[in-house]
Structure 1
Amino acid sequence: MSDHLAGAYDLAIFDLDGVVFLIDKPIPGAAEAVERLRADGTAIAFATNNASRRAADVAALLTGMGVSAAPAEVLTSAGAAAALIAEHVPAGSPVLVVGAEALRAEIRDAGLTPVASAEDKPVAVVQGYGPEVGWKNLSEAALAIRAGATWYATNTDRTLPSPRGPLPGNGSLVAVIRTALDRDPDVVVGKPQPALFTTAATVAGADRPLVIGDRLDTDIQGAVTAGSDSLLVLTGVSGPADLLSAPADRRPSFVAADLSGLFRPADQAEVPAAEVNGWHLARQADRATLSGSGDPVDALRLLCGATWDGVPATNLTAGSEAATDLLRSWGL
């Protein structure tokens, strides 16, 4: 039995944005965490909903940041979407691409013909994030879908994490077409669908994968759907208040401030926690009071035991100065 959390798993599946890097800057400790896992013999995979880069480009980006990665270890929603479409339409079929050049290249490599206009009579529309996507692209997609093309979305993440705060993601662009057509995409490929995770486990021959992510609505929900344990790190989109209010299908097995949590004892990251060092929780019916002081993540683990058992986050109160400051910092 290993003395740290990651040692109990044979594959670590990392999300990228908000976990390993923010836009183009590595998150402190990410490279060290990956290298330590490799040294321990743990297989590594990177699974991203971002469809703006190909697997080889993602691997090169990571390597340039000091995070060792091979193209075969990277699974993208762009590649998964292209493969899925190719399974359902004849070879060479026209597919209208809304997104970055990486998505067009994936469609081309899947034996399909990327097009940009509804006048090309595409059999499918595939929509992924691209920083240059604008009204004209979205309009052509709406026209093609209305004419009968099957609508694939690589993912529906509303936001992308960045050092300046959350930015509009593919889900926000999907919402434009959803509003115009008053309908949802026919197929959503990426997380929280479990395919990226199950594929990673199959490729690695892993029996016990651990998913590491920063978003409850994609990474963690996808892990729950795939039947895998998961670690939420608080370096990206989802924060403490989100975790306290998480529904059952978005609750991680573990939570940590950052990737260093992989190397702490599992019982110091497990969520919820019945008791922790420094903090105390007193519950009265549908209310709970936090007192004491200590590690903020330990307090969060303790509080999840109450909120996941029916105490509204709005009914949490503080019984010490440290608890007052902590709840205030979480917006509670």
Structure 2
Amino acid sequence: MTLAATDSPLIASHDAVLLDLDGVVYRGGDAVPGAVEALTSVEGARLAYLTNNANRPPSAVADHLRDLGLTVTVDDIVTSAQAIAGVMAHDLPAGATVFAIGGEGLRTALKERGLVPVDDRHAPEVAAVVQGYAPQLGWRDLAEAAYAIETGLPWYASNTDLTIPTAEGIAPGNGALVHAVGLAVGREPVVAGKPYAPLFEETIARISPGAPLMVGDRLDTDISGARRASIPSLFVLTGVSSLADVVNAAEDELPDYVGLDLSALHDAHPEVVVEGDRATCGSASAEIADGVLRVATSGGPTETLRAVVALGWAARAESGITVTVDATIGA
């Protein structure tokens, strides 16, 4: 695998940008530094915001983005709650009652698809269990979900992100809660969020892009999901996955492009030349010795990052080693 390249700004090659939210556009309530400026500078491409966080309805997400200074509509927001509600509406009878563990966003999405969410697993004619993220969920909620699933009901989950980036740090995500229930019941749910197909399918059906680009901070969800959907991807270093993670990523989690942050949308991504233990990209270069990867010559953040990542990938392909990264980009 090698990084894709473009001599013109990356955004010029795409008519739509599919953006993860947590860790890409914002962390908690605050915008990622530079994100608003980068996105408001986009011209000629549709912006769609894909979130695995099923807690908030699209209207609340849109309000949040507008508060940060972005121009968005509700139709620009696609949530894993909407995606799983679509899957369930396809699988279940119209008007089916479902036991819903999660926040307002999940319940709103279910209602929009004609399903009836309830908080009591003993409600009449419950047809399925669905699990989504909400910060107030506790042990009792997970236990109730497990009890219902153990009766044989179909089990659905909005997403399985093990962690979620917040303003205070990395916290347990919905996947950690789903995993806890799975350990109790010995089953796996049907999942809609990244890296699974339904969230991408929901987005593509809505905006019909010709040349989309996925931007994400998580290799295991955003980037892996984009590869599964055959959508080129830009990985940014503003969220969960680190520089060492992307250098040592599994093949099915390798991005097409890498950037420090969303400003990389407006950068050219020059070819990287790898020669032995050295890689050059534009004015930047990186070197590797004894499995340790370092910046030799700093250039622009995108050039420097590309040199480091490409050299790390080449070293791994040649020797199969795990590469240690001793480099800070853009400091």
Q: 2:258 aligns with which of 243, 255, 258?
A: 255
Displacement after TM superposition at 1:107 (Å): 1.4
> Residue 24 of structure 2 corresponds to which residue in structure 1?
19
Q: 1:231 aligns with which of 228, 231, 234?
A: 234
Displacement after TM superposition at 1:17 (Å): 0.2
Sort the Cα spacing of 1:126 and 1:239 in 2 relative to 1 into closer, same or farther, 3 A: same
Tell me the distance in 2 between the aligned counterparts of 1:263 and 1:328: 23
The answer to whether the aligner puts 1:302 opposite 2:299 as a matched pair is no
The answer to whether the aligner puts 1:275 opposite 2:274 as a matched pair is no
Displacement after TM superposition at 1:328 (Å): 6.9
Tell me the distance in 2 between the aligned counterparts of 1:69 and 1:269: 36
Letter in 2 for 1:254: Y
Tell me the distance in 1 between the aligned counterparts of 2:321 and 2:69: 39
RMSD: 2.5
The answer to whether the aligner puts 1:214 opposite 2:217 as a matched pair is yes
TM-score norm. by structure 1 comes to 0.87
TM-score norm. by structure 2 comes to 0.88
> Residue 102 of structure 2 corresponds to which residue in structure 1?
99
Sort the Cα spacing of 1:282 and 1:139 in 2 relative to 1 into closer, same or farther, 3 A: closer
> Residue 321 of structure 1 corresponds to which residue in structure 2?
none
Tell me the distance in 1 between the aligned counterparts of 2:135 and 2:224: 26
Whichever structure has more helix as a proportion of its residues is 1
8 Å contact 2:7–2:270 — kept in the other structure?
Answer: no
Q: Which has the higher contact order (CA 8 A, sep 6+)?
A: 2
Displacement after TM superposition at 1:329 (Å): 6.3
> Residue 132 of structure 2 corresponds to which residue in structure 1?
128
Tell me the distance in 1 between the aligned counterparts of 2:273 and 2:207: 25
Sort the Cα spacing of 1:270 and 1:64 in 2 relative to 1 into closer, same or farther, 3 A: farther
Letter in 1 for 2:182: R
Q: 2:195 aligns with which of 188, 192, 197?
A: 192
SS at match of 2:224: helix
> Residue 66 of structure 2 corresponds to which residue in structure 1?
63
8 Å contact 1:4–1:264 — kept in the other structure?
Answer: yes
Sort the Cα spacing of 1:23 and 1:282 in 2 relative to 1 into closer, same or farther, 3 A: closer
Displacement after TM superposition at 1:176 (Å): 1.2
Where structure 2 has 5 or more consecutive residues not aligned to the other structure, the ranges are 1-5
SS at match of 1:19: coil
The answer to whether the aligner puts 1:201 opposite 2:204 as a matched pair is yes
8 Å contact 1:281–1:302 — kept in the other structure?
Answer: no
Q: 1:167 aligns with which of 127, 149, 171?
A: 171
Cα displacement string for residues 116-165 of structure 1 (whole angstroms, at most 9, x for unaligned residues): 22212521111110011111211111111111111101000000012322
The answer to whether the aligner puts 1:138 opposite 2:142 as a matched pair is yes
Tell me the distance in 2 between the aligned counterparts of 1:163 and 1:65: 15
Sort the Cα spacing of 1:270 and 1:237 in 2 relative to 1 into closer, same or farther, 3 A: farther
Aligned residue pairs: how many?
Answer: 315
The answer to whether the aligner puts 1:180 opposite 2:184 as a matched pair is yes
Once the two structures are superposed, the pairs formed by residues 289-328 of structure 1 within 5 Å of their partners are: 290=294, 292-295=296-299, 297-312=305-320, 314=322, 316=324, 327=326
Displacement after TM superposition at 1:313 (Å): 5.3
Q: 1:117 aligns with which of 116, 120, 125?
A: 120
Displacement after TM superposition at 1:288 (Å): 6.5
Q: 2:34 aligns with which of 29, 43, 53?
A: 29
Cα displacement string for residues 7-51 of structure 1 (whole angstroms, at most 9, x for unaligned residues): 1011000000000000110112212222211xx211110000000
Where structure 1 has 5 or more consecutive residues not aligned to the other structure, the ranges are 317-325
Sort the Cα spacing of 1:314 and 1:248 in 2 relative to 1 into closer, same or farther, 3 A: closer
Sort the Cα spacing of 1:217 and 1:269 in 2 relative to 1 into closer, same or farther, 3 A: farther
Tell me the distance in 2 between the aligned counterparts of 1:305 and 1:294: 19
Tell me the distance in 2 between the aligned counterparts of 1:19 and 1:6: 16
Q: 1:153 aligns with which of 152, 157, 180?
A: 157
Tell me the distance in 1 between the aligned counterparts of 2:48 and 2:271: 24
SS at match of 1:210: strand
Task: Identify which range, 2-11 or 307-316, moves more after superposition.
Answer: 307-316
SS at match of 2:159: coil
8 Å contact 1:13–1:197 — kept in the other structure?
Answer: no
8 Å contact 2:164–2:172 — kept in the other structure?
Answer: yes
Letter in 2 for 1:96: F
Tell me the distance in 2 between the aligned counterparts of 1:28 and 1:280: 26
Displacement after TM superposition at 1:67 (Å): 1.6
